Amino acid sequence: MSFVVRKGKKEDLPHVLRLIEELAIYEREPDAVNVTVDELEKDGFGQNPLYGLFVGEADGEIVGIALYYFRYSTWNGKVLYLEDLVVTESERGKGYGRDLLNAIIQEADKQNCRLCTWQVLDWNEPSIKFYKSIGADLDEGWINCTVKQSDYKNFY
């Protein structure tokens, strides 16, 4: 079986959305995905792309994705943030996640980012074990904060 990681293309987006939906189910949020293929195309392949994308193909079929974007740290400067790393359930354990993560780390290096960061749910033991095995620092001292669009009006 051949596996290759490459930059994502517009025509990959239906498969990308399928993997995003699979991730939402895995993360116990099956109804949380609101993004559409059209939005993914506009936001990732328009004039000012908001994210970058790698796909992993096994024998020509997309079985994994790594979606990232850049943010800025007041302490460190440019940071590559890995939003999601997904390998479809039937293909896990074959090293594809590591290959996708390697592509992300290489992109961070190429883009001169001082940090590459991401999050993992505290109950996701397989991913935590994987990230620890590659030497990632897992910082348990931060709490995520989010305001949903429907609540914006509460702030002004």
Distance CA 8, CA 45 (A): 10
Distance CA 78, CA 113 (A): 5
Q: Which residue has the tokens 């302490």?
A: 75
Backbone angles phi, psi at 71, to 5 degrees: -135, 175
Distance CA 7, CA 92 (A): 20
68, 81, 96, 131: the active-site residue: 131
CB of 68 closer than 8 Å to CB of 83:
yes
Annotation marks residue 68 as catalytic: no
SS3 call for 64: strand
Distance CA 50, CA 106 (A): 19
How does DSSP classify residue 120?
A: -
**Catalytic center residues:** 131
